[in-house]
Amino acid sequence: MSTPSLVDLGLRPFFQQQLSLEEVANCFLGRIIEQHKSDVIILAGDDALRYKLPPNFEAICVGDWVVFNQNRLVRVLERQSLFQRKAAGSGRDRQLIAANLDVVFIISSLNDDFNLNRIERYLALVKETHAEPVVILTKADLCDDVEDIRQQVQQLDSLLSVHCVNGLAHNNLSALKSYCQRGKTVAFLGSSGVGKSTLVNNLLNHNEMETNAIREQDSKGRHTTTYRTIKWLPEGGLLMDTPGMRELQLSDVKEGIKLTFADIESLATECRFKNCQHQNEPECAVISAVESGALSARRLDNFQKLLREDAHNSATLAQKRAKDRTFTKMVTAIQDQARSIKKFK
Ligand SMILES: Nc1nc2c(ncn2[C@@H]2O[C@H](COP(=O)(O)OP(=O)(O)OP(=O)(O)O)[C@@H](O)[C@H]2O)c(=O)[nH]1
Ligand SMILES: [Zn+2]
């Protein structure tokens, strides 16, 4: 693909409709494909442009759609989905990781490593972002009861897409490819060794396609660049591979956890006490469901564990940020002091 159009890059009515008439007349639209400390690279049709981040510009990350003019970045469009690290209770202190992903593949292998709890954890992370999770179970060739395990995953959520593949077989990936069509942005999540790179290499047909329409604003002529975080898939989609995604922790993803365990949330509305913790309260509909076999004890256990972990991580993150802020203030104060001492010398 030499010159991707904005539609190839994922432009759709949701983003276009956000533009004002003034912006349509005077500005351009583009997608952030690289983010550095003080500048970003915007892909806009056949151009890749480097733009400085204006001082105090809003938070921005790879995958964002931005409005810009000849001179500067104007604004970031509202996102359809967003991976971020948040600290509880603070809107400002968040680190954005990747925006506007359509599908996130949750990769888990069908052999010894298979673990429903872990899949639920990734589901909570993905649901929080509002991207669509798709579970891919790899190493089907090493497993004797593929369908049985697929069923176990399907039971987590009847609407969830779950596919089993042998990542090593080239002709085995049509299920995945259907999510990677033109204009779609996808990403992979999963623990080490489950076969993510194998799938990616296979999807890429072993040759990472290069965009050769890259011309930076300040350089003459065209040269070919591959981006660290974005790869073109032969089906037309974009694969986003930002390092931060691999290290995501559960923090402040309560909504994602609740969406992932919608069955428990719904049962909880029947508990006698509104704030029931489903531990040993009387007339608890959730415990009753476990006793009757309608809900697995494992699932309830994991729900509670993920909520605890989320609360713990959110709190420590908030604390750490507050500490960092105090430290920065202290350093600035000392620097100011040093400067004023110099002045009077
Ligand atoms: N038999 C079989 N082996 C597979 C399959 N998928 C991956 N493997 C093997 O599993 C090992 C790990 O695969 P990778 O693709 O490197 O796993 P990864 O998830 O990228 O791992 P990290 O890079 O550590 O995150 C490699 O030896 C692969 O050849 C599969 O479907 N079947
Ligand atoms: Zn209860």
Q: What is the pLDDT of residues 292-345, one digit of tens each?
A: 999 999 999 999 999 999 888 877 766 776 777 776 777 777 777 777 766 555
pLDDT interval class at 164 (50, 70, 90): very high
pLDDT of residue 172: 75
pLDDT of residue 86: 67
Are 280 and 239 members of one domain? no
Are 112 and 232 members of one domain? yes
Domain span including residue 112? 98-246
Residue at a domain's end among 193, 222, 246: 246
Q: Do the domain assignments include residue 198?
A: yes
Amino acid at 44: A
Per the structure, how many domains does the chain have? 2
Distance between the two ends of the chain, CA-based, in angstroms?
Answer: 63
pLDDT of residue 155: 94
Would you say 203 and 233 are in contact if contact means Cβ atoms under 8 Å apart? yes
Q: Is 140 annotated as a binding residue?
A: yes
Short-list 256, 258, 200, CA closest to 231:
200
Are 222 and 268 members of one domain? no
Kindly report, residue by residue over 37-90, the tens digit of the pLDDT.
899 999 997 788 999 999 999 999 999 999 999 999 999 999 999 998 865 554
Spatial separation of the C-alpha atoms in residues 40 and 19, rounded to whole Å: 21
Q: Is 130 annotated as a binding residue?
A: no
Distance of CA 191 from the midpoint of ligand 1 (Å): 11
Q: Do the domain assignments include residue 286?
A: yes
Are 171 and 311 members of one domain? no
pLDDT of residue 112: 75
Of ligand 1's atoms, which has the minimum distance to the CA of residue 246?
A: 25
Of ligand 1's atoms, which has the minimum distance to the CA of residue 167?
A: 31
pLDDT above 90 (res 222): no
Are 264 and 226 members of one domain? no
Are 212 and 321 members of one domain? no
Residue at a domain's end among 193, 218, 246: 246
Residue at a domain's end among 229, 246, 263: 246
pLDDT interval class at 226 (50, 70, 90): low
Short-list 256, 225, 250, 227, CA closest to 240:
227
Cα-based distances in Å from 118 to 10, 153, 189, 274: 30, 11, 11, 29
Q: Do the domain assignments include residue 66?
A: no
Kindly report, residue by residue over 110-156, the tens digit of the pLDDT.
987 789 999 999 999 999 999 999 999 999 999 999 999 999 999 99
